[in-house]
Amino acid sequence: AQSVTQLDSHVSVSEGTPVLLRCNYSSSYSPSLFWYVQHPNKGLQLLLKYTSAATLVKGINGFEAEFKKSETSFHLTKPSAHMSDAAEYFCVVSDRAAGNNRKLIWGLGTSLAVNP
Amino acid sequence: DGGITQSPKYLFRKEGQNVTLSCEQNLNHDAMYWYRQDPGQGLRLIYYSQIVNDFQKGDIAEGYSVSREKKESFPLTVTSAQKNPTAFYLCASSITPDRSQPQHFGDGTRLSIL
């Protein structure tokens, strides 16, 4: 069965320091993986997407994520945090099995705080 | 600019009342989705539509209804049968129903009970 685990519910960093948001998944097939960001009282915005091309995926706003099949991980990183990065981040997995039963599995989210 | 418009931003429901949340997209996307978001939880799928005049139940469809009479519109009705409707509701669309496609989201409607 598919599942997504975001290993930290809250992460706090100082402005200018690196960001690491961790995501592990399980999937029976070659998954598609996504990271979305949600600012308070807003909808979600796609940060980046992995679909079996390059394992290192670059996204918007300086974020990137590395797909590691051996570790079943898809951690999100950014070299230097900015105050505007404070938001909720969601890791999402979608299987690619044939048929009509594909679905998205959402992680519970990681709240990122950025301190001045 | 293309996007998804949800209205209203805030909505209050009285006991026994049905309320309808609007979702309109001008992205020419085939698929549309409704999610419910509660604090500390991920998104849960209520209903989805792969094409006009078609829709399917998601994981938590009880107490909700939808219609898809036009490609650009996918309204959600929260009926009186939904006993715990207080939540943040998000509408999304994707260019095709393929779940490897990214979804585009509106800014949500926050529904509360009076």
Q: pLDDT of B4-48, one tens digit each? A: 999 999 999 888 899 999 999 999 999 999 999 998 888 999 999
B contacts of A43 (beta carbons < 8 Å) = 4, 6, 90, 92, 105-108
- The span from the CA of B62 to the CA of B114, in Å, is 21
pLDDT band at B1 (very low <50, low <70, confident <90, very high): low
The confidence score (pLDDT) of residue A102 equals: 65
- Do B88 and B43 contact (CB within 8 A), yes or no? no
| Tokens read off for B62 | 């009880």
Which among A93, A104, A110 is the top mutation candidate for probing chain B, defined by the most B β-carbons within 10 Å of its own β-carbon?
Answer: A104
Q: Report CA-CA distances (Å) from B18 to B7, B12, B48, B68, B78.
A: 16, 11, 20, 18, 6
A contacts of B89 (beta carbons < 8 Å) = none
Question: Which of these ranges, A14-18, A96-100, B61-65, B96-100, has the smallest mean pLDDT?
Answer: A96-100
Q: Which has more confidence, B111 or B83?
A: B111
pLDDT band at A3 (very low <50, low <70, confident <90, very high): confident
Within chain B, strands assigned E span 4-7, 10-13, 19-25, 31-37, 43-49, 56-57, 64-66, 76-78, 87-94, 104-105, 109-113
DSSP string of A85-112?
A: G-EEEEEEEE---SSS---EEE---EEE
B contacts of A95 (beta carbons < 8 Å) = 99
CA angle A44, A48, A49 (to 5 degrees): 110
Nearest CA in chain B to A44: B105
pLDDT tens figures, A39-90: 988 899 999 999 877 889 999 999 999 999 899 999 999 999 999 999 999 9
B contacts of A45 (beta carbons < 8 Å) = 105
- The span from the CA of A106 to the CA of A36, in Å, is 10
- Do B14 and B78 contact (CB within 8 A), yes or no? no
Q: Which of A56, A34, A49, A13 is nearest to A107 (CA)?
A: A34
Q: Report CA-CA distances (Å) from A43 to A18, A75, B65.
A: 25, 22, 21
Q: Report CA-CA distances (Å) from B26 to A68, B9, B86.
A: 36, 19, 28
Residue B83 has pLDDT above 90, yes or no: no
| Tokens read off for B40 | 């500390």
Mean pLDDT of chain A: 90
Tokens 């509360």, residue located = B112
- The span from the CA of B23 to the CA of B55, in Å, is 15
| Tokens read off for A55 | 């394992």
Contact B99 A95 (CB under 8 A): yes
CA distance A95 to chain B (A): 8
